[in-house]
Structure 1
Amino acid sequence: MPDAPVTLSQVAREAGVSLATASRAINGSATRSVREDLRERVLEAAQRLDYSPDPSAQAMARGRTTALGLVVHDIADPYFSTIAAGIARAAEREGLIVTLSATENSPERELAFVELARRQRSRAIILAGSRVTLPDGGAGAAPSAVVARMAALEAALTTFQEAGGGVAVIGQAVGSLPVVEIDNAGGAGALAEALHRIGYRRFGVLTGPPGLRTAADRTRGFGDTLAALGCPALDRDVVHGNFTRDGGYDAMTELLSRMTSAAARAAANTPEVVFAVNDVMAVGAMAAVRDAGLRVPDDVAVAGFDDIHTLRDVTPGLTTVRIPLAEIGALATDLALGRTDQVRAPVQGEVVLRDSTPERHH
């Protein structure tokens, strides 16, 4: 019959200390420390006896578990999976285990996951995903249910933080909580400038679903820059779609039908290039172009946003705005764990021109 596992009481007797002192030396404590010479005696005794500490006891003693709760909108989206990979690597270096939850774009599920992480005493919580837009830039114009959900989320995260947990959000700020803030509008504006510089003058936009802040910011940045350059996108050439590959396919199919209408042909003013507000939508748009018997970029050029690494092998290569997603995950982990003095960490995008938008000569 195998020997029974060594207990903490045996370690305490071996080290000549109380059980409470042995527990604090091995498991840590949220409120009390142990004299260094006593801690060394306990650890040496534990090593001699081949004692294995109980992770649950450690968590109870420290007041927090070793879990880092990550809440994303859609783990199947490579945008979120790349961020998650960066968080997982950073968490591993800190001795933490990432628990992952996907909200499927449900604010209620997001709040429920935050509450669960709080009850389970997770070490930290990171939220990755777009916030909702508030009409006219103010809470007073937004539906009361939307404002209430946002307030409830901020309150839950603030309560968690005040109780000693770490918090960070990725994308847009939630109140004054730590945030990795992506300059979506600025990146899209830089893309518009780059496309204009290489000769494009007529633009279409596949924007995301109404109410999604990331899509709205990218659409606004792109559109405002085009207007300043004197070639705004026409209303008929801006099409909403889900923030997915199929959403991009459907939106591009709708735009192509508008482009081939009698009125559009008569006006001879159809888009030369179409900006999809994320890469997965752009891939769907390229498929829709092919299925319509047309070619990218010969018949219409396409650009995206994010520079998802798993999509870099599409043909032709996709022009996009590169966002360092894995690095963003690591930065958010540092924010959540208090490893940096920053509270707001801005991240800029970089325009990457590829074969889907060759230089155009008029």
Structure 2
Amino acid sequence: MAMVTLSEVARHAGVSLATASRVLNGSARTPAADIADRVRAAATTLGYVPNAQAQALARSSTSLIGLVVHDIADEYFASIAKGVQRVAADRDRQLLLAVAGSIHSAAPEVDRAVTAFAAHRTDAIILAGSRTAATDAVRSRLEAYQGRGGRVVTVGQSWVPGAAAVRIANREGMAELVAELAADGQRRFAYLTGPDAALATVDDRLAGYLDGIVATGAESVALIRGEFSMAGGHECGQRLLEQLTSTRRRPVTVLAGNDVMALGAASAFAEAGLRIGLDIKVAGFDDIGVLTHLSPGLTTYRLPLGEIGGLAAELAMDPELPDPAPVTGEVIRRASA
């Protein structure tokens, strides 16, 4: 079946091709309401589908937003992406998604994503990602994109000159978590964190943990690095148990740099026969959705991840908006700590 053309719609409505184009492609120059209604009715009757490229030319906008994340299967990034999608859809924008993969070598993949989004003439690019992406080459490409009228928004940190940013109070949140647990009588802590210098989130939360230890006078008995994942948390948990067993330094409250690391560590502790919340305490950070289905429940610091994504989308669509204040959350106490 042949596609209906704009010329056929114009003939059916009894208007010129230019008039039909202005109505259906979203030009600022629109004809009288009765003529516009006649054109839209003709398009509906004939089953006409507007051409996206023609609409973009007429509007000087593609209504496309590009989003770069590292792992869409990770609930942290998935929740942010859902927030972006929700707000974008409310404003009749379409979301293009790129997954940059490893946080250790993100720059080439982020560079390819930015190049692809620029080729698709997206109105904005949102970056929720790692510090390793912040190379001179990626910055230069993003600055060139902004120079052509594109909007850039970063999530979690600000590393692109001239870009908008949704900052997250990761350091303050982790310090608050330590303070609340210490005030509850938990005085000996171990910390499981991600790889060094890969994510600003990793460094900020570690700094917050150390701030909390200093402020409360609590004891930090171990600091172990691993992958910022459930498998990484499991491995870190096993290494921590070996260390605690050799020094006989239990009980301890184990804090992890995110919830998935905490879940991996809790699995390692359970495999060793320890009762979570009794023999050893565990807490995470983010409050990802899967936590509502766990028993015992995981104590964590809840970030409004969907709201963070929504704020990024608002900044992407409205260049007049100022950057918001750093996003904060709240401590959520459950049975694990």
Q: Is TM more than 0.5 here?
A: yes
Distance (Å, rounded) in 2 between the aligned partners of 1:207 and 1:65: 41
Q: Could you tell me which amino acid in structure 2 is paired with residue 226 of structure 1?
A: I
Matches within 5 A, 1:136-147: none
Distance (Å, rounded) in 2 between the aligned partners of 1:41 and 1:345: 47
The answer to whether residue 17 in structure 2 is matched with residue 19 in structure 1 is: yes
Distance (Å, rounded) in 1 between the aligned partners of 2:17 and 2:296: 67
Matches within 5 A, 1:333-348: 333-338=313-318, 341-348=321-328
The answer to whether residue 137 in structure 2 is matched with residue 152 in structure 1 is: yes
Q: Could you tell me which amino acid in structure 2 is paired with residue 28 of structure 1?
A: G
Q: Tell me which moved more, 329-338 or 63-72.
A: 63-72
Aligned length: 329
* Deviation for aligned residue 1:185: 0.1
Paired residues of 1:125 and 1:336 also in contact (CA < 8 A): yes
Q: Could you tell me which amino acid in structure 2 is paired with residue 201 of structure 1?
A: R
Q: Tell me which moved more, 334-343 or 94-103.
A: 334-343
Distance (Å, rounded) in 1 between the aligned partners of 2:113 and 2:152: 13
Query: Which residue pairs with 1:114 in the alignment?
Result: 114
Q: Could you tell me which amino acid in structure 2 is paired with residue 7 of structure 1?
A: T
* Deviation for aligned residue 1:130: 3.5
* Deviation for aligned residue 1:289: 0.2
- Post-superposition Cα deviations, 1:89-144, rounded to whole Å, max 9, x if no partner, equal 22221222222211112221012101110111113211112425xxxxxxxxxxxx
Distance (Å, rounded) in 2 between the aligned partners of 1:184 and 1:176: 23
Q: 1:84 to 1:111 in 2, by over 3 A?
A: same
Q: 1:157 to 1:43 in 2, by over 3 A?
A: farther
Query: Which residue pairs with 1:82 in the alignment?
Result: 79
- Post-superposition Cα deviations, 1:33-76, rounded to whole Å, max 9, x if no partner, equal 31542x65144234135352223321343343333211101111
Distance (Å, rounded) in 2 between the aligned partners of 1:82 and 1:190: 23
Distance (Å, rounded) in 1 between the aligned partners of 2:143 and 2:37: 37
Query: Which residue pairs with 1:186 in the alignment?
Result: 172
Q: Tell me which moved more, 344-353 or 20-29.
A: 20-29
Distance (Å, rounded) in 2 between the aligned partners of 1:192 and 1:114: 38
Q: 1:223 aligns with which of 205, 210, 213?
A: 210
Query: Which residue pairs with 1:45 in the alignment?
Result: 39
Distance (Å, rounded) in 2 between the aligned partners of 1:100 and 1:258: 42
- Post-superposition Cα deviations, 1:254-298, rounded to whole Å, max 9, x if no partner, equal 01100011xx12xxx445101001000000010000111212122
Distance (Å, rounded) in 2 between the aligned partners of 1:232 and 1:290: 24
Secondary structure of 1:64 counterpart:
coil
Distance (Å, rounded) in 2 between the aligned partners of 1:207 and 1:169: 23
Q: 1:172 aligns with which of 141, 154, 157?
A: 157
Paired residues of 1:204 and 1:273 also in contact (CA < 8 A): yes
Matches within 5 A, 1:200-219: 200-211=186-197, 212-219=199-206
Query: Which residue pairs with 1:9 in the alignment?
Result: 7
Distance (Å, rounded) in 2 between the aligned partners of 1:298 and 1:316: 10
The answer to whether residue 20 in structure 2 is matched with residue 34 in structure 1 is: no
Paired residues of 1:205 and 1:277 also in contact (CA < 8 A): yes
Where in structure 2 are there 5+ consecutive unaligned residues? none
* Deviation for aligned residue 1:166: 2.9
Paired residues of 1:11 and 1:42 also in contact (CA < 8 A): no
Distance (Å, rounded) in 2 between the aligned partners of 1:315 and 1:48: 59
Matches within 5 A, 1:251-270: 251-261=236-246, 264-265=247-248, 269-270=249-250
Q: Could you tell me which amino acid in structure 1 is paired with residue 70 of structure 2?
A: H
Matches within 5 A, 1:313-324: 313-324=293-304
Q: 1:76 to 1:14 in 2, by over 3 A?
A: closer
Paired residues of 2:157 and 2:165 also in contact (CA < 8 A): yes
TM-score, scaled to structure 1: 0.84
Q: Could you tell me which amino acid in structure 1 is paired with residue 165 of structure 2?
A: V
Q: Tell me which moved more, 101-110 or 332-341.
A: 332-341
Q: Could you tell me which amino acid in structure 2 is paired with residue 22 of structure 1?
A: A
Paired residues of 2:251 and 2:279 also in contact (CA < 8 A): no
User: Over the residues paired in the alignment, what is the CA RMSD in angstroms?
Assistant: 2.2
